[in-house]
């Protein structure tokens, strides 16, 4: 018997949910950054290890490429757009809810930071994790979404390989 799988002409429920999640992450990030820019004149200590402290990063993670000037801003923006496009294509094709959610977190975070980079020339950061005088680089909600999304993508990749590996072991014995 031959089974013909239907071709997908548009996004399914999983893709629509994933695109909605990406838009929500980018939107929440922009709202949080707007509040930070308008109301964080001085740092606010929330706990002994968490503060809200306004900062701006013209580069990428940990301030890399911060001194690259206006040309660097446009190169970083172009690379970000390519990454977002590739992840959106992946979301379009995936049938895995975890992969769709994970890629959506990365897309939403990347889009949130891209909007800042294009509007202000730098990404607005405001979350300061520290222990005593040792500070982690200040970050934002978009950065947190990207880290969580990458972590979920790694977990999804690990889980997708686990059943295949155990099936191969069963066949070998």
pLDDT for 159 = 80
Q: Is residue 29 annotated as part of the catalytic site, yes or no?
A: no
pLDDT for 59 = 67
Reported pTM: 0.81
pLDDT for 58 = 78
DSSP 3-state of 134: strand
pLDDT for 132 = 84
* Cβ(102)–Cβ(85) below 8 Å: no
Q: What pLDDT, in 10s, does the model give residues 70-91?
A: 677 788 889 999 999 999 999 9
Q: Is residue 125 annotated as part of the catalytic site, yes or no?
A: yes
Place of tokens 């997708």: 160
Active-site option among 29, 116, 128, 143:
143
41 CB contacts (<8 Å, ≥6 apart)?
54
- Which residues in the chain show pLDDT less than 70? 1-11, 59-70, 162-173
pLDDT for 72 = 72
What does the alpha-carbon distance between residue 124 and residue 82 come to, in Å, rounded to a whole number? 22
Task: Report phi then psi at 160, rounded to 5.
Answer: -70, -25
pLDDT for 65 = 55
Strands 44-47 and 50-57: antiparallel
pLDDT for 164 = 52
């Amino acid at each position: 018997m031959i089974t013909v799988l239907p071709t997908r002409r548009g996004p399914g429920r999983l893709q629509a949910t994933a695109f909605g999640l990406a838009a929500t992450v980018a939107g929440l990030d922009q709202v949080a950054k707007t509040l930070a820019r308008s109301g964080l004149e001085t740092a606010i200590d929330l706990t002994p290890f968490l503060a809200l402290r306004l900062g701006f990063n013209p580069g990428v993670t940990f301030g890399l490429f911060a001194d690259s000037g206006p040309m660097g801003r446009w190169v970083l923006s172009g690379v970000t757009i390519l990454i977002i496009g590739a992840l959106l294509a992946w979301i379009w094709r995936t049938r895995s809810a975890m992969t769709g959610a994970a890629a959506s977190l990365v897309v939403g975070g990347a889009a949130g930071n891209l909007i800042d980079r294009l509007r202000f020339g730098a990404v607005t950061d405001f979350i300061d994790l520290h222990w005593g005088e040792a500070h982690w680089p200040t970050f934002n909600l978009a950065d947190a979404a990207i880290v969580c999304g990458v972590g979920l993508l790694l977990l999804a990749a690990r889980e997708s390989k686990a059943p295949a590996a155990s099936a191969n072991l069963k066949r070998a014995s």
